[in-house]
Amino acid sequence: MRRAILRMAPALALLFLVAGLVGPTITRADSKGNVNFIIGGKGLDSDWEPNEDQGEFGAEVTWGPAGWPIAFATDILASSAAADILGVEVNDQSSELAFGVRKIWEAGAARPYIGGGVAKLEAQREANGVTRKDSTLGGWVGGGIFWRLGARFNIGIAARISRGEITLMSSGVPQDVEAGGSHAGLILGWGWPAHK
Half-sphere exposure of 123 (CA within 13 A, CB side): 33
Contact 55, 82 (CB under 8 A): no
How many distinct structural domains can be found in the chain?
A: 1
Residue 28 has pLDDT above 60, yes or no: no
Residue 54 has pLDDT above 90, yes or no: yes
Domain of 172, in residue numbers: 2-192
Q: What is the mean pLDDT of the chain?
A: 87
Model pTM score: 0.82
Please tell me the distance from the alpha carbon of residue 31 to that of residue 194, in angstroms, as a whole number: 11
Residue 119 has pLDDT above 80, yes or no: yes
Band (11; pLDDT cuts 50, 70, 90): low
Looking at residue 27, which CATH number applies to its domain? 2.40.160.20
Q: Which residues pair with 78 in a beta bridge?
A: 57, 95
How does 116-155 read in b/e, with b if 16+ C-beta sit within 10 Å? bbebbbbbbbbeeeeebebbbebbbebbbbbebeeeeebe
Amino acid at 65: P
